[in-house]
Amino acid sequence: MTNAQAFFERRDRLNKAVLAQADRTTKRFFALDHDAYAEGALPARTKELLGLVASAVLRCDDCVTYHLVRAREEGAKKEEVVEALSIALVVGGAITVPHLREAFALLEELYPSEPAAPR
């Protein structure tokens, strides 16, 4: 099982536990989060990259993992993800570096044959 698969299995199990006991406010928030990333004026791929940047800046490794995988599923190229992570570093500063390390480790799993082009 890959790290991404393990993450999503755990996330799914825990989300089910939350929603089984959640009140209307929590359920509405989960629905809002889902709807915000749906295809719209911005492509879902772009929204996932935006979510990735925000997650890195806010230093949420679970969120970084989620948006990395979703960006890949939505067709984001490795080079696009690397640029997005560069923006996160510029916005968030050095404190985001540990989260970028985790993100780049996962990139190797998600994009095994797609090297990032150096600039």
Residue 117 lies in a domain: no
pLDDT at 117 over 70: no
Residues 35-93 have pLDDT tens digits of 999 999 999 999 999 999 999 999 999 999 999 999 999 999 999 999 999 999 999 99
Residues 92-115 have pLDDT tens digits of 999 999 999 999 999 999 998 877
pTM of the predicted model as reported, rounded to 2 decimal places? 0.89
SS3 letters across the chain: CCHHHHHHHHHHHHHHHHHHHCCHHHHHHHHHHHHHCCCCCCCHHHHHHHHHHHHHHCCCHHHHHHHHHHHHHCCCCHHHHHHHHHHHHHHHCHHHHHHHHHHHHHHHHHCCCCCCCCC
Residue 105 belongs to a domain with what CATH number?
A: 1.20.1290.10
Residue 115 lies in a domain: no
Total count of domains within the chain? 1
User: What is the reported pLDDT for 96?
Assistant: 96
CA angle 82, 60, 63 (to 5 degrees): 70
